[in-house]
Amino acid sequence: QKEVEQDPGPLSVPEGAIVSLNCTYSNSAFQYFMWYRQYSRKGPELLMYTYSSGNKEDGRFTAQVDKSSKYISLFIRDSQPSDSATYLCAMSLYNTDKLIFGTGTRLQVFP
């Protein structure tokens, strides 16, 4: 079993939809939780970062961490075609930058 599980998709939604992306993990010691966005043939770029449990909002993006369930989510409101990309969840232990990634979910937002 992988430490971090993520549905690869693809997920196809119409413009304006609310998108929910999720990851589950097995290591209860993870403290930092990140979401990266990766456009085709580009490097991952950090989208959201959360320390420990709770919610974080940035514009149309909301990240949630539920450590009791070992489950993290990324919500995208009013999705746009420009949101079409692969979304990678990542997490790490306390006081380390070594990230463990999910396999990524490919999202397509059609006009």
Partner 1 sequence: DAGITQSPRHKVTETGTPVTLRCHQTENHRYMYWYRQDPGHGLRLIHYSYGVKDTDKGEVSDGYSVSRSKTEDFLLTLESATSSQTSVYFCAISDGAGGNTIYFGEGSWLTVV
Give the residues lining the site for partner 1 (CB under 8 A).
4, 6, 8, 32-34, 36, 41-46, 49, 51, 88, 90-92, 97-99, 101-104
* CB closer to partner 1 out of 6 and 79: 6
Q: How far is the CB of 14 from partner 1 (least distance, A)?
A: 27
Considering the complex, state which of residue 62 and residue 92 has its C-beta at the smaller distance from partner 1. 92
**Any idea of the CA torsion for 104, 65, 16, 11, to the nearest 10 degrees?**
30
Residue 71 CB, nearest distance to partner 1 (Å)? 18
Q: Closer to partner 1 by CB, 4 or 85: give it.
A: 4
User: Scanning the structure block, which residue is given the tokens 């490097």?
Assistant: 43
Q: How far is CA 88 from CA 2, 38, 42, 46, in A?
A: 15, 8, 13, 9
**Paired tokens of 63:** 């990240």
Rank residues 14 and 43 by Cβ distance to partner 1 and give the closer one: 43
Residue 14 near residue 109 (C-beta atoms within 8 A): yes
26 token code pair = 């097995």
Nearest distance in Å: CB 72, partner 1: 12
Closest CA to 65 of 49, 78, 79, 76: 49
Residue 49 Cβ vs partner 1, minimum distance, rounded to whole Å: 4
